Structure 1
Amino acid sequence: MHIGNTAAIVTGGGSGLGAATAAALAKAGASVYALDLAGAIETAPEVAGVTYVPADVTDPEQVRAAVATAAGGDAPLRIVVNCAGIGPSARILGKSGLHDLALYAKVVQINLVGTFNVLALAAEAIARTEADGDGQRGVIVNTASVAAFEGQVGQAAYSSSKGGVVGLNLPAARDLAQYGIRVNTIAPGIVDTPMLATVSEEFRAGLAAGVPFPKRLARPDEYAQLVLAIVGHDYINGEVIRMDGALRMAPR
């Protein structure tokens, strides 16, 4: 799948993995529509080829409108990358009491239901485009986490949501195969995103030391590089790819 002269949607595009991916796709020649909450867009960097669209991924009407915007330009909508997500920590039974059910539901709603919402509505629009010579119409890349496989203490909600994204991957690829749409998922390890900006350098060094090799945190641009590789590799479909430096998370 060629990236140039296509339209792409990236959720969570205001910062972190989403911002890096939006910039990389734009540099490769795509017209990128970066979806994020209004507050995140206000502080997002200006990038040539990237148009910011305020949208809550859990809201069907907002996402439908954003997809219509992306699909309504001169270039066909071919690429969708789901990066939007949250990762609060809470134990099932903690010092402050029982895990808040509303918090659990919120994490699943944003990370899993939001991913499905964007995937489904974007696939509907992509399916209406004209296929290329190989019958291809588009590529969707979702974001899971190594926590889907090795959730740590306090990650019950987050691991549940990301495990759901992993479980969604193969049936989505099979469902959308008849339309020439591939679906893959990236499961990052510890990435140096704004979510880690508040922790100390000592703590960050400790995290990096636990990675077998290379002994450092991953960079958002490395996630974006993998997205571009998946888009360009026509035979990668229904796959979950770990990007973690061979890290396997300990219980805590």
Structure 2
Amino acid sequence: MSITVHQFPCLSDNYGFLVRDDATGLAACIDTPEAQVILAELEKLGWKLALVLNTHWHPDHAGGNADIAAATGATVVGPQEVERIGQAPDRVVAGGDVVTLGETRFEVIESGGHTLGHVAYFDAADHTAFVGDTLFALGCGRIFEGTPEQMWASLQRLAALPDDTRVYCAHEYTASNARFALSVDDDPALKARTEAIFAARERGEWTVPTTIGLEKATNPFLRAPRLAGRLGLTGAADHEAFAAVRAAKDGFKG
């Protein structure tokens, strides 16, 4: 089995993702940040859209559902919370469910915290994960609806995926995340990575996808327990160290 992922910019800093099951030619759209851009990309590629896979309810992720479904006849799949934008998904999924696209099998991973019902989609055969706003390159999503414990547990589920898993996160936030990371962590691997990120962004290059292994090695949110002493939290529980890093990022002005 194999898939082809087509990535393109949407809105001001979102990415759109179209995923094609190579065996059958059927395609899925991961979230719907900008309907007309997504439909134009589908037409350019000549792909047949079968599914919309929503990660969470926010309008920059599910706001194009109705227009895309009307134009393509695609089935909308997502967590129950997507109904908050005006219409429930055709199929409601939660952690532990499986969604198939042709011969491709996506495992649904519970990843709440940013929103309560947030999910991610993992193709184990191709080591590919679409994580919405839970995990970013050198970052993680703000905790709008959940708790630090919930978000930490969600990040640990993603961190348990194989290190070579390609991680498609939904926004180009990496340069900002890199500046924050350097303020809380002095690891040499992080310094080398941030230098490469700043150079890539200067050239106008994307920093997505990333990998689970790279994030485990350098992302301050996944490394939070190791940073506890530096943050004056020696002996803190892992989720407490994570909460401190998240709070520091929320107030970061760099």
* Bigger relative contact order, structure 1 or 2 (CA pairs below 8 A, ≥6 apart): 1
TM-score > 0.5, shorter chain as reference: no
Higher strand share: 2
TM-score normalised over the length of structure 2: 0.37
TM-score normalised over the length of structure 1: 0.37
